[in-house]
Amino acid sequence: MTIIVEKVDVLNNKQHKKRFIDLPFTLYKEDKNWVPLLKMESNKMFSAKHPFYQTADVSFWIAIKDGVDVGRIMAIVNKNYLEFHQDETGHYGFFEAIDDSEVFNSLFKASSEWLKSQGLSKMQGPFNPSTNYESGNLVRGNNERPVLMMPYNPSFYEKHIEALGFSKVKDLLAYHIDSQFQMPEIITKIADRAESKNKITYRTISKKNWAQEAELMFEIYNDAWEKNWGFIPMTREEFMAMAMDLKTVADEKLILFSLVDGVAAGFIVALPDFNQVLHKIPNGKLLPTGIFKVINAKKYMTGVRVITMGVKKEFRKLGLETILYHRCHENIKSYKQYKDIEMSWILEDNLNMNKPLIRMGAKPYRTYRIFEKDL
């Protein structure tokens, strides 16, 4: 049968938005590893009011086969990316499809032609919708459920995307380690020495002052990650929106600031794995029964994800990264309920991040790939 690709106005048309959000629920109905996002969160992401769209132009398509929606894609012109990197790369994201090469071809053809019409010469992804959110196509570890804010897809995606001429541009790694691991003595010594030598202290975050704490994280964030591959500066509005979303799942003891002479220099964020709760809400709706899973969330969560850690440039080489790892781990260990820690994602060639994790005994157990193709 012929594949029909329909351009849809997800940000402004309620019916189109519903189809775009509902499609994965149909595709993954029998997949025990897929974790649905709450539909109320998807509705916020696909609202024209979301601050991401203040600095990006996007287009959406849905593929239809035999009268049924069987795939979707979003094409992205990220103005912050283009200004910061000074190149002509467009992005794609929120891609889902059945195991059908024609569906893949039709969706990528429509989105790549649109990006080309915007004056771009490369297509890169997946990003949902940028490196500041879910990123990468899962190419290793498809047999397990993903943790909080990490994407999932079937293994057949890789072959179809490569068949369209896309190739790897970068791999993102996820590390796993048992929460009760013994921190190597060399790391604890480095942390202790750095603390005493440089008047370094640390403190946990305060939910009572969340807005002010988020402002502090925002100040550190754009400074700390500026030189990383694929970095895209976040606007204050975008960062604050994300911070407010994270507040509901945040544990004060698992988000720490490091301070040098009383000045905030770096932070680390670990979050309870709320995906273990979301997995128990297969329809993505809080009502009528999903709300009770959320209320009893602590009962289901046995894992933690370290989602980010960064230090301002002027405070590099003081051992702050080691201190943050060490102190955060101590706090995670104090909870008997947390058995597993995932640290993700880490650029495959970021040796400053990979080496300490390997030294701790962490194992890279999932790989998320960023693909690229010349237009």
pLDDT in tens, 88-105: 999 999 999 999 999 999
Residue 117 neighbours by CB distance under 10 Å? 10
> What tens digit of pLDDT does each residue of 123-178 get?
999 999 999 999 999 999 999 999 999 999 999 999 999 999 999 999 999 999 99
Q: Is the pLDDT of residue 109 over 90?
A: yes
Alpha-carbon gap, residue 350 to 362, rounded angstroms? 15
162, 104 Cβ separation under 8 angstroms: no
pTM: 0.94
> What is the CATH code of the structural domain delimited by 4-176?
3.40.630.30
pLDDT computed for residue 161 by the predictor: 98
Distance separating alpha carbons of residues 149 and 309, to the nearest angstrom:
15
More confident residue, 286 or 198: 286
- Whether 1 shows a pLDDT value over 70: the answer reads no
Tokens for 3?
């594949």
Between these two residues, 74 and 299, which has the higher pLDDT value?
A: 74
Domain residue limits, the chain: 4-176, 177-366
Q: What is the mean pLDDT of the chain?
A: 93
Of 72-76, 132-136, 322-326, which gets the smallest average pLDDT?
A: 322-326
Strand partners, 202: 258
Q: What is the pLDDT of residues 167-202, one digit of tens each?
A: 999 999 999 999 999 888 888 887 788 777 778 888
Find where tokens 């990979």 sit.
Answer: 354
One-letter amino acid of 121: S
Per-residue pLDDT for 340 more than 70? yes
The domain made up of 177-366 is a member of CATH 3.40.630.30: yes
Q: One fold for both 4-176 and 177-366?
A: yes
